[in-house]
Amino acid sequence: MKRKRSAAIQLTLFAALSASSFRVHAANYTITVDAGQKGTAWNRFYEKLVSTCHAYTVLSSAYGRNIQNAMKRAHDEAGFQYFRAHGILNDDVKVYSETNGTASYNWTNFDKIYDAALAAGMRPILEISFMPSALATDKGNLGLWYNGVTAINRPPKDWNKWHALVTALVKHCEEKWGAEEVRKNWYFEVWNEPEWMYTGMEDYPLLYAHTCAAIMEADPQVKIGGPAYTADAAIPYGIENFIDYVRTNNNPITGTKNLKIDFISYHRYSNNANYGGMLSAPNSQNDYHKAVVAACKSKNFTGEILNDEWGSTYNQTVDRDDETSASFYTKTICMLNGNGATYPPPSMYGYWTLSDIYEENNAGSNTAYDEGNYGMLLRGDSRYQESWDLAKPVFNACKLLHRLGDYTLPLTGGTAADGVNGCATVSADNNAVQILLYSHVNGAAANSSTQDNVSLTVNNIPWAPGQVKVEHLIVDRTRSNTYRAWVDMGKPQNPSQAQWTQLKNAEALAEQDPASTVTLTEKTWTKSFKQNYYSVGLITLSNPSAVMSDPGKPEAIRPANGSDVSVTSTGRAIMIIHPFAGTVSARLFSPDGKIILNRKAYGTITFSRENLAPGAYLLECAVAGRTFVKPIPVNR
């Protein structure tokens, strides 16, 4: 959620960044990967979360569409597992009302929102915000648009009524979706950016105390956290104070010191002040995260640390739309994943935001690119289905990251400064090696047609000598880039159906070179190529003789030992959760033994049960060399 800077400040900042960026020139890089040195598991923290606009956009928006299709794309193509939305208690969701001073609750829209998200494969970080108008001390003046109605950033007029509402909310979630599911997998976060979206930092601790007490009354085992501070100030010190407050102050209901905090949440945009703040600067993101980790360690905090809003800037600038976003995103993830045990990555890292169906600063239109909008996916035109949720370059970068393997490999020859670097992985079965290379320049002011020269060598390929299939995908200025395709059209604000079809074709992941199969006489492979500034490339070497076997129908004698595999059946979805790295294969068999659903993905797998007739289904889940079979009863 963004605050605006004045135009003068933005122009001054851009001029300073532009002057520094022009000092960068193309360079030569010799990149080496040792495929025989399998390291630790590749951490997919970045796939755990993506942020969205306010909660009601899951159901409807000013643009004639909702974000459910975008959520499904995010889960299926990029592996995202959680979403976070503002304003679940806003008046449009209609949870809270009063008649003659008596409170009543209506969970209809609330249930629809989370049912739809779960069906798309997304669990919630349930942000408890904002204040319902019937419960607020006054309307406030927050100024966010939200389909014509602002959110309310004021305290409740009655803390007892707030307490009852929050307790009822948690209890309702457990009754609707199951206590075990909610305790184990849901996160309850108290408010959003309270230093400006509440009445001030001095008042937020009391809000947290009351809300935490109410949640704990409903179920002390659920995950509670905050404060979701922004990062324009030296926020790690604010986090230290917040941890102290929770530990030393009494529960306002029980009077005992039993308040808790299971996770610390923070926000960071790379042009926030301090820690090298600059437009599209991954180093700024990484340095700030290290400071947050250090602050938490100083207080012996051992819970989760997560960032549930981040991006290249909190301003609306075009680098969010073009290829700059792809290299910025990728470099940030690689840097955070390369810090070692001293500064582990956040447990979640939620990019702001998933979709251009976004209502904080917008007034509703069907334009293609509102240059500088925050989403990974275009909103499209509600009239043309082929236009819905087309990928910007940053989403295509997420798709490339999703294709990385299971374990890290050492990669040398890149630079932590402006230029080329990356990461490398290998699959658990040693039959595929992935090398992800980006070229990025801080400040987003360099010429993205400038090219670096890259020589890549992969040593100790596990299955070599022998045949190697080589694939090279690229996101850059001219490929996998709907923004540049739209610019080439003349920036039509309301593209025709034919133009939308062109943009849909432009979103597809493009090859730098056609896929090929080569025969190696040694265990080494080398390739030289040019890579543009602001680009992300994925080179995959795979063993063409490694074919996945199909065991056919599951046998009744196969053991159903799945203590580490959880299958949750919600109102609209079947969710398979497991602790393993790598690809999961899941097949659902109908009562008469036919395969009716077949899915392969990383992380959580979700099947919709919308069209399943009642009966006794059988789920086969194969992961990490093990196969589990579980009965799935479907009742209507």
Cα–Cα–Cα angle for 577, 39, 526, nearest 5°?
A: 115
User: CA 214, 216, 218, 222 torsion: positive or negative?
Assistant: positive
Q: Is the pLDDT of residue 23 over 50?
A: no
Q: Is the pLDDT of residue 22 over 70?
A: no
- Is 88 a member of any domain? yes
| Per-residue confidence (pLDDT) for residue 497, from 0 to 100 | 94
Per-residue pLDDT, averaged over 542-549, amounts to 68
Residues 504 and 380 both lie in one domain: no
| Per-residue confidence (pLDDT) for residue 110, from 0 to 100 | 97
Q: Is the pLDDT of residue 442 over 80?
A: yes
- Phi, psi of 310, rounded to the nearest 5 degrees: -155, 165
Q: Rounded CA gap, 315 and 90, in Å?
A: 25
Indicate the pLDDT class of residue 588, thresholds 50, 70 and 90. Answer: confident
Residue 19, C-beta contacts closer than 8 angstroms, at least 6 positions apart? none
| Residue 59 near residue 113, CB atoms below 8 Å | yes
Q: Rounded CA gap, 284 and 276, in Å?
A: 5
Helix (H/G/I), strand (E/B), else coil: 314: coil
| Per-residue confidence (pLDDT) for residue 366, from 0 to 100 | 60
Q: Is the pLDDT of residue 532 over 90?
A: yes
Residues 374 and 454 both lie in one domain: no
Residue 41 DSSP label: B
The domain tally of the chain equals 3
Residues 387 and 420 both lie in one domain: no
- Is 10 a member of any domain? no
Q: Rounded CA gap, 635 and 127, in Å?
A: 31
More confident residue, 299 or 604: 299
Element housing 182 (H / E): helix 179-185
Indicate the residue type of 351. Answer: Y
Q: Rounded CA gap, 13 and 445, in Å?
A: 11
Beta pairing class for 573-577 and 96-99: unpaired
Domain boundary among 401, 420, 453: 401
| Per-residue confidence (pLDDT) for residue 312, from 0 to 100 | 95
Residues 601 and 463 both lie in one domain: no
| Per-residue confidence (pLDDT) for residue 629, from 0 to 100 | 75
Domain boundary among 380, 401, 422: 401
* Residue that has been written with the tokens 């829209």 in this structure: 109
Domain boundary among 507, 526, 542: 542
Per-residue pLDDT, averaged over 112-135, amounts to 95
**HEC profile of 216-253:** HHHCCCCEEEEEEECCCCCHHHHHHHHHHHHHHCCCCC
Q: Is the pLDDT of residue 371 over 60?
A: yes
* Strand residues in 285-347 grouped as ranges (E): 304-311
Task: Give Cα 632 distance to the centre of its chain.
Answer: 29
Q: Rounded CA gap, 586 and 583, in Å?
A: 10
* Strand residues in 416-465 grouped as ranges (E): 419-426, 432-440, 451-459
Rg (CA), the chain: 25
The structure tokens listed for 218 are: 């409903």
Report the percent of the chain where pLDDT is more than 70.
86
- Is 138 a member of any domain? yes
| Per-residue confidence (pLDDT) for residue 625, from 0 to 100 | 61
Indicate the pLDDT class of residue 12, thresholds 50, 70 and 90. Answer: very low
Q: Is the pLDDT of residue 95 over 90?
A: yes
For residue 261, the domain's CATH number is: 3.20.20.80
| Residue 170 near residue 188, CB atoms below 8 Å | yes
Q: Rounded CA gap, 371 and 348, in Å?
A: 28
- Is 118 a member of any domain? yes
| Residue 378 near residue 390, CB atoms below 8 Å | yes
| Residue 264 near residue 301, CB atoms below 8 Å | yes
The structure tokens listed for 501 are: 């079809």
Q: Rounded CA gap, 554 and 34, in Å?
A: 39
| Per-residue confidence (pLDDT) for residue 201, from 0 to 100 | 72
| Per-residue confidence (pLDDT) for residue 257, from 0 to 100 | 92
Residues 241 and 376 both lie in one domain: yes
| Per-residue confidence (pLDDT) for residue 568, from 0 to 100 | 64
Beta pairing class for 466-475 and 535-542: antiparallel
Per-residue burial over 409-418, b if 16 or more Cβ lie within 10 Å, else e, is bebebbeeeb
| Per-residue confidence (pLDDT) for residue 11, from 0 to 100 | 37
Beta pairing class for 573-577 and 566-569: antiparallel
More confident residue, 570 or 89: 89
State the alpha helices, DSSP H only, in 337-488: 393-402, 482-488
The structure tokens listed for 138 are: 């006054």
Indicate the pLDDT class of residue 363, thresholds 50, 70 and 90. Answer: low
For residue 621, the domain's CATH number is: 2.60.40.3080
- Is 576 a member of any domain? yes
For residue 440, the domain's CATH number is: 2.60.40.1500
The structure tokens listed for 67 are: 């974000």
| Residue 194 near residue 201, CB atoms below 8 Å | yes
247-296 pLDDT tens trace: 999 999 899 999 999 999 999 999 998 888 999 999 999 999 999 999 99
| Per-residue confidence (pLDDT) for residue 8, from 0 to 100 | 34
More confident residue, 181 or 20: 181
Residues in the chain: 636
Say what the pTM is.
Answer: 0.87
Q: Omega into 227 within 30° of 0, i.e. cis?
A: yes
More confident residue, 616 or 33: 33
| Per-residue confidence (pLDDT) for residue 242, from 0 to 100 | 92
In a 10 Å sphere around its CB, with 0-12 CB exposed, 13-18 middle and 19+ buried, how is residue 467 labelled?
A: middle
Residues 410 and 368 both lie in one domain: no
Sequential DSSP letters for 122-157: -EEEEEE----TTTBSS-------TTT-------BS
Per-residue burial over 363-397, b if 16 or more Cβ lie within 10 Å, else e, is eeebbbbbbebbbbbbbbbeebeebbbbbbbbbbb
- Is 385 a member of any domain? yes
Residues 76 and 146 both lie in one domain: yes
376-412 pLDDT tens trace: 999 999 889 999 999 999 999 999 999 999 999 999 9
- Is 590 a member of any domain? yes
124-144 pLDDT tens trace: 999 999 999 999 999 887 878
Longest dimension (CA), the chain: 84
| Residue 437 near residue 540, CB atoms below 8 Å | no
Indicate the pLDDT class of residue 623, thresholds 50, 70 and 90. Answer: low
Closest by Cα among 616, 619, 593 to 607: 619
Residues 467 and 344 both lie in one domain: no
| Per-residue confidence (pLDDT) for residue 365, from 0 to 100 | 63
Q: Is the pLDDT of residue 307 over 90?
A: yes
Sheet arrangement for strand 411-412: 411-412, 28-34, 451-459, 525-532
The residue range of the domain holding 415 is 404-542
Residues 98 and 113 both lie in one domain: yes
More confident residue, 41 or 636: 41
| Residue 351 near residue 345, CB atoms below 8 Å | no
Indicate the pLDDT class of residue 62, thresholds 50, 70 and 90. Answer: confident
- Is 24 a member of any domain? no
Q: Rounded CA gap, 54 and 153, in Å?
A: 14
Indicate the pLDDT class of residue 238, thresholds 50, 70 and 90. Answer: confident
User: CA 118, 44, 536, 124 torsion: positive or negative?
Assistant: positive
Task: Give Cα 302 distance to the centre of its chain.
Answer: 23
Q: Omega into 353 within 30° of 0, i.e. cis?
A: yes
Residues 79 and 61 both lie in one domain: yes
Residues 443 and 538 both lie in one domain: yes
Residue 7, CA atoms < 13 Å, CB-side half-sphere: 0
Q: How does the average pLDDT of the chain come out, rounded?
A: 87
| Residue 525 near residue 461, CB atoms below 8 Å | yes
Q: Is the pLDDT of residue 92 over 70?
A: yes
Least confident of 141-145, 299-303, 329-333, 620-624: 620-624
Residues 123 and 240 both lie in one domain: yes
| Per-residue confidence (pLDDT) for residue 580, from 0 to 100 | 58
Helix 235-248 with 282-298: angle, nearest 10 deg: 30
Q: Rounded CA gap, 534 and 331, in Å?
A: 10
